[in-house]
Amino acid sequence: MLVPDTTYQFTLPYLADMMPLFDSTDNPYLTSRLYKALSHETAHHSTETQEHTYHAIYQVPYPGARMYDPRMSPESLRSSRWTPISHDDVFLTRLLEDYFLYEYPLWPCFHKDHLLDDMATGGNDYCSPLLVDAGFNPARLYGASKASLQTLVHMFYHRHGFEAYYIFLLPILVQLGFDLIERLRTLEAQQEHFPPIMKATRATLILCAKGLRDQGRNFFLSELVFRILQDNMNPADVKLLKDWARIRGELQSQNSCIGVSTMSAYAAQEPKSL
Clarify whether residues 126 and 167 are in a common domain: no
Residue 261 has what pLDDT?
A: 46
85 closest CA partner among 20, 156, 139: 139
Clarify whether residues 189 and 239 are in a common domain: yes
The mean per-residue pLDDT over the stretch 132-158 comes to 71
Secondary structure (DSSP) of 12-79:
-TTHHHHHHHHH-TT-TTTTSHHHHHH-HHHHHS---HHHHHHHHGGGS-GGG-----TT-SHHHH-G
In a domain, 38, yes or no: no
Clarify whether residues 181 and 242 are in a common domain: yes
In a domain, 119, yes or no: yes
Q: How confident is the model at residue 252 (pLDDT cuts 50, 70, 90)?
A: very low
Q: How confident is the model at residue 267 (pLDDT cuts 50, 70, 90)?
A: very low
Examine the pLDDT at 192 and tell me if it is beyond 60: yes
219 closest CA partner among 153, 173, 178: 173
Residue ending a domain, among 135, 151, 180, is 135
Examine the pLDDT at 41 and tell me if it is beyond 70: no
Pairwise pLDDT comparison (3 vs 204), residue with the higher score:
204
Clarify whether residues 236 and 185 are in a common domain: yes
Give the structural domain span for 224. 161-248
Clarify whether residues 125 and 179 are in a common domain: no
Residue 223 has what pLDDT?
A: 83
Give me the helix-helix angle, 196-215 and 235-245, nearest 10°.
60
In a domain, 261, yes or no: no
How many domains, in total, are found in the chain? 2
In a domain, 87, yes or no: yes
Clarify whether residues 206 and 166 are in a common domain: yes
Q: How confident is the model at residue 255 (pLDDT cuts 50, 70, 90)?
A: low
How many C-beta atoms surround the C-beta of residue 187 within 10 A? 13
Clarify whether residues 116 and 182 are in a common domain: no
In a domain, 214, yes or no: yes
pTM: 0.43
Residue ending a domain, among 117, 135, 153, is 135
| CB crowding 1-34: b at 16 or more within 10 Å, else e | eeeeeeeeeeeeeeeeeeeeeeeeeeeeeeeeee
In a domain, 177, yes or no: yes
Q: How confident is the model at residue 8 (pLDDT cuts 50, 70, 90)?
A: low
Contact criterion met (CB below 8 Å) for 189 and 205: no
Clarify whether residues 129 and 92 are in a common domain: yes
Clarify whether residues 165 and 131 are in a common domain: no
In a domain, 19, yes or no: no
Clarify whether residues 215 and 171 are in a common domain: yes
In a domain, 182, yes or no: yes
